[in-house]
């Protein structure tokens, strides 16, 4: 009985030490939404935009296609685009529907990738915020 209790406590303690996968990204302001959609030449209603909260000032974001009726169908895509605000303007960094982690981490910091919920393939295995 005592052995089971110690094992249970050990498992619980180990679970507490595992890094938690937490998304702290947020919805954009209306202005950010318009500016980021414009980077991709998307109508704002067709853009699903998220802003990373890892950095003090928001300077990383992601955008993917959002269904918005017939006007959005020509823009349909299943990938995600990463943008970064530099010198007061949002700029394209990378885009894809399947990322290899190595090349992705060279242009987008790991903390940002995790915060925005972007998954990538590392050594044949799914990595990123959605992998546990």
Q: What pLDDT sits at residue 100?
A: 94
Residue that is written with structure tokens 């998307």 in the block: 42
Q: What pLDDT sits at residue 12?
A: 38
Residue that is written with structure tokens 């990204």 in the block: 25
Q: What pLDDT sits at residue 17?
A: 36
Strand partners, 94: 82
Q: Are 114 and 101 in contact (CB under 8 A)?
A: no
Does this model's pTM top 0.85? no
Cβ neighbours for 65, distance < 8 A, ≥ 6 positions apart? 42, 46, 47, 48, 72, 75, 76, 77, 78
Strand (E) positions, 27-124?
47-51, 60-65, 80-86, 89-96, 99-100, 119-122
Q: What pLDDT sits at residue 23?
A: 59
Q: Where are the domains of the chain?
A: 25-128
Per-residue confidence in pLDDT tens, the chain, 132 aa: 554 443 333 333 333 333 444 557 999 999 999 999 999 999 999 999 999 999 988 899 999 999 988 999 998 988 999 999 999 999 999 999 999 999 999 999 999 999 999 999 987 777 765 454
Phi first, then psi, for residue 107 (nearest 5°) are -115, -15
Q: What pLDDT sits at residue 44?
A: 95
Q: What pLDDT sits at residue 58?
A: 85
* 126 three-state secondary structure: strand
Q: What pLDDT sits at residue 119?
A: 92
Report the C-alpha gap between 123 and 116 in whole angstroms. Answer: 21
């Amino acid at each position: 009985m005592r052995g089971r209790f110690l094992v249970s406590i050990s498992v619980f303690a180990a679970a507490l030490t595992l890094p938690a996968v937490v998304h702290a990204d947020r919805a954009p302001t209306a202005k950010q939404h318009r500016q980021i959609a414009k980077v991709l030449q998307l109508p704002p209603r067709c853009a699903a935009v998220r802003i990373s909260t890892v950095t003090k000032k928001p300077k990383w974001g992601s955008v993917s296609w959002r269904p918005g009726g017939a006007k959005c169908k020509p823009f349909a895509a299943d990938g995600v685009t990463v943008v970064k605000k530099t010198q007061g303007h949002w700029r394209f960094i990378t885009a894809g529907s399947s990322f290899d982690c190595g090349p992705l981490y060279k242009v987008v910091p790991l903390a940002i990738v995790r915060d925005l919920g972007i998954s990538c393939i590392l050594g044949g295995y799914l990595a990123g915020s959605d992998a546990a």
